[in-house]
Amino acid sequence: MHPPVLEGNLAQPVIRRLNAMRQLSERGIALLQQAIQDGLHRARPGEDLATEGDPVDSVRIILSGWLCRYKTLADGRRQIVNFVLPGDSCDACVYLLSVMDHSIGALTPVTYADIKRPVFEQLLASDRSLEEALWCETMVSSAIQREWTVNIGRRVALERVAHLLCELYERLLPVGMIDGDSCLFPITQMDLADATGLSVVHVNRTLQELRGSGLIVLRDRILTINDLKQLKDTALFSADYLHTKRHG
Amino acid sequence: MHPPVLEGNLAQPVIRRLNAMRQLSERGIALLQQAIQDGLHRARPGEDLATEGDPVDSVRIILSGWLCRYKTLADGRRQIVNFVLPGDSCDACVYLLSVMDHSIGALTPVTYADIKRPVFEQLLASDRSLEEALWCETMVSSAIQREWTVNIGRRVALERVAHLLCELYERLLPVGMIDGDSCLFPITQMDLADATGLSVVHVNRTLQELRGSGLIVLRDRILTINDLKQLKDTALFSADYLHTKRHG
DNA sequence: CGTCTCTTTGAGTCGTCTCAATCGGCGTGG
DNA sequence: CCACGCCGATTGAGACGACTCAAAGAGACG
């Protein structure tokens, strides 16, 4: 049903992402690709891949599209706690906890592999490099979560939005989704607001400020970063927390 | 140098904490206790167990005392991203990342076990229940981190401080550090401010408000929660994210 | 008894929010 | 092909939550 050559392409972001954490063995890559091919799924924008309170029984690996993890308060306030990008895994290990404590929603059309728990465990057990890479990715995800806490807790609006843009840029880079200094940026200002803990109105004004100082262009779902260095400076951004090993 | 019977007591919070995640085997407990005895250390208040940028080569398990994980911005702003309580581990797996992306500071006198990476890996490899419990604990720590993002991003000051108090109460409970409706609460209002993303002055006024409505008493480093239910209500608190299995 | 840290209080400022309305693009149905 | 409705982006204006600055209590400690 899916020609193998196409699947190979689909798995590219995952392999690139994991390779950046730990050099994957040939065998590991093959096993991973097989597992991905066997579990292909799609989701539409707005659809939830998982909802707070759901039992967890499988791991999802994102092949294309953007998602977000979010939590909702009783009165409707929503906080996006992280974005999930191509190559990321959803809850590589959260299945150790039996219930989801947050929801995962698709922001765009999404392609992902759904790998059932036993299959996933076998995958981890059969290749050491794969196991380490996937744990590593989970740890990086925690590190990102910590930085978000800092971002929302201690940065002012301008810094905060700038920081988020820097992070997304740096995360999209290793999976090959940056074209020059531009990338697709499929999220609304409302999403941005829920991710930064700001109001939509203020996000709008903050973006205008960033545009006004010539740092970025954001139009028609395309983000262009004109001056990455200065954007990082205004964001007080350091990429260390992403633990991206630079290698050849 | 340390009588075995005393060490057994020291390890109690850890064992209780891990047992709440996964039922530990007798063997697992014995191995753990041995590792803890072999790696006992102390730290003074204000001392850093680890600093952002440090290489990671060991895992720490907290036996007594309070610590915090924190990050500092270039201009001195500080954000506490989590508290570390007795029974918690520091970076059970962060050693998969070679460098610390945050610091860990002692808020009180601390007793902890420092377990070197090879010893720790052997520990995980030799008992399945121990391995699962420790991973589980790491996952819960991530879940807490997500909730902090929500707390700081979407709750107002009163809710935010109340939520933190509820969380600490619920986390201290399973390790036996709650006495009736009171507990030692050794952190300053400045720490509270850095943890909630508020200013010290505002934390002070918020605490007064909580006191004024009779929900809590906080004096001389002792916190008493007079009305837990109402405190949880004002905090919009649900303990689900702590993944604490209730079991007889 | 002086010093240091933590807590508390007062007063004024400012960042961010809320409410409200307009504008623009896009898909759908008449 | 046009009108309507919807969603997202934008703008204006006023309100308020939280911040900063400043200074004064209050314990703890040597």
pLDDT computed for residue B8 by the predictor: 55
Q: What gap in Å lies between CA A85 and CA B156, rounded to an integer?
A: 30
Chain A residues 202-221 within 7 Å (CB) of strand C: 202
| B189 CB below 7 A from strand C atoms | yes
Answer yes or no: is pLDDT of A143 > 50: yes
User: Shortest CA–C1' contact from B191: which nucleotide?
Assistant: C6
Q: What gap in Å lies between CA B97 and CA B68, rounded to an integer?
A: 19
Answer yes or no: is pLDDT of A206 > 70: yes
Mean of the pLDDT values across residues B139-143? 96
Q: What gap in Å lies between CA B16 and CA A248, rounded to an integer?
A: 46
pLDDT computed for residue A246 by the predictor: 57
For strand C, which nucleotides have at least one atom less than 7 Å from a protein CB? 5-11, 15-20
Least confident of A66-75, A88-97, B192-201, B215-224: A88-97
The three-state (H, E, C) secondary structure of B75-117, written as one string: CCCEEEEEEECCCCEECCCHHHCCECCCEEEECCCEEEEEEEH
A244: burial class by Cβ within 10 Å (0-12, 13-18, 19+)?
A: middle
A101 at B interface, C-beta within 8 A: yes
pLDDT in tens, A21-51: 999 999 999 999 999 999 999 999 999 999 9
pLDDT in tens, B154-195: 999 999 999 999 999 999 999 999 999 999 999 999 999 999
Tell me the pLDDT of chain A averaged across its residues.
Answer: 94
CA distances from B111 to B14, B44, B61, B82 (A): 12, 9, 9, 18
The distance in angstroms from the start CA to the end CA of chain A is 37
pLDDT in tens, B80-109: 999 999 999 998 777 889 899 999 999 999
Q: What gap in Å lies between CA B196 and CA A23, rounded to an integer?
A: 39
What per-residue string of b and e applies to B11-36 under the rule 16 or more CB within 10 Å gives b?
bbbbbebbbbbbebeeebbebbbebb
The three-state (H, E, C) secondary structure of B112-180, written as one string: EEEEEHHHHHHHHHHCHHHHHHHHHHHHHHHHHHHHHHHHHHHCCHHHHHHHHHHHHHHHHCCCCCCEC
Domains observed in chain A:
4-147 (2.60.120.10), 155-242 (1.10.10.10)
Answer yes or no: is pLDDT of B243 > 50: yes
Residues B134/B88, Cβ–Cβ less than 8 Å: no
Q: What gap in Å lies between CA A101 and CA B143, rounded to an integer?
A: 7
pLDDT computed for residue A4 by the predictor: 44
* Strands across the sheet containing A89-90: A40-43, A110-116, A58-64, A89-90
B146 at A interface, C-beta within 8 A: yes
CA-based nearest residue to A176, from A83, A87, A62: A87
Residue A220 phi, psi (nearest 5): 50, 45
Q: What gap in Å lies between CA B109 and CA A177, rounded to an integer?
A: 48
Q: Count CB atoms within 10 A of the CB of residue A71.
A: 21
Residue B19 phi, psi (nearest 5): -60, -30
| B205 CB below 7 A from strand C atoms | yes
Q: What gap in Å lies between CA A45 and CA B183, rounded to an integer?
A: 47
Q: What are the structure tokens assigned to A120, written together?
A: 């996933």
pLDDT computed for residue B3 by the predictor: 42
Q: What are the structure tokens assigned to B146, written together?
A: 């997500």
Q: Which residues touch strand D (CB under 7 A)?
A: A 188-190, 200-201, 204-205, 207-208; B 156-158, 197-199, 201-202, 220
CA distances from A92 to A17, B49, B246 (A): 14, 29, 25
Residue that the structure tokens 């065998």 belong to = A27
Q: What gap in Å lies between CA B66 and CA B43, rounded to an integer?
A: 11
The C-alpha of A68 sits at a distance from chain B's nearest C-alpha, in angstroms, of 12
User: Shortest CA–C1' contact from B46: which nucleotide?
Assistant: C5
Nearest residue, CB atoms, B145 vs list A75, A99, A142: A142
B57 at A interface, C-beta within 8 A: no
Answer yes or no: is pLDDT of A6 > 80: no
Mean of the pLDDT values across residues A228-233? 98
Nearest residue, CB atoms, A73 vs list B140, B143, B236: B236
Residues A242/A145, Cβ–Cβ less than 8 Å: no
pLDDT-based confidence at residue B246 (cuts at 50, 70, 90): low
pLDDT-based confidence at residue A113 (cuts at 50, 70, 90): very high
Cβ pair B79:A236 closer than 8 A: no
**Cα angle for residues A202, A206, A207 (degrees, 5° grid):** 120
Mean of the pLDDT values across residues A219-246? 95
CA A188 to chain centre: 16
B147 at A interface, C-beta within 8 A: yes
pLDDT computed for residue B143 by the predictor: 97
Chain B residues 218-237 within 7 Å (CB) of strand C: none
Does A209 or B95 have the greater pLDDT score?
A209
Answer yes or no: is pLDDT of A183 > 60: yes
pLDDT-based confidence at residue A2 (cuts at 50, 70, 90): very low
Q: What are the structure tokens assigned to A77, written together?
A: 């306030």
| B107 CB below 7 A from strand C atoms | no
B81 at A interface, C-beta within 8 A: yes
| Helix, strand, or coil (residue B229) | helix
B143 at A interface, C-beta within 8 A: yes
Nearest residue, CB atoms, A139 vs list B97, B155, B236: B97
Contacts of B243 in chain A (CB under 8 A): 97-99, 101
Answer yes or no: is pLDDT of B248 > 60: no
pLDDT-based confidence at residue B110 (cuts at 50, 70, 90): very high
Answer yes or no: is pLDDT of A224 > 80: yes
User: Shortest CA–C1' contact from A205: which nucleotide?
Assistant: D10
Least confident of A123-137, B50-64, B89-103, B146-160: B89-103
User: Shortest CA–C1' contact from B196: which nucleotide?
Assistant: D18
Tell me the pLDDT of chain B averaged across its residues.
Answer: 94
CA-based nearest residue to B247, from B16, B29, B87: B16
For strand D, which nucleotides have at least one atom less than 7 Å from a protein CB? 7-13, 17-22, 28
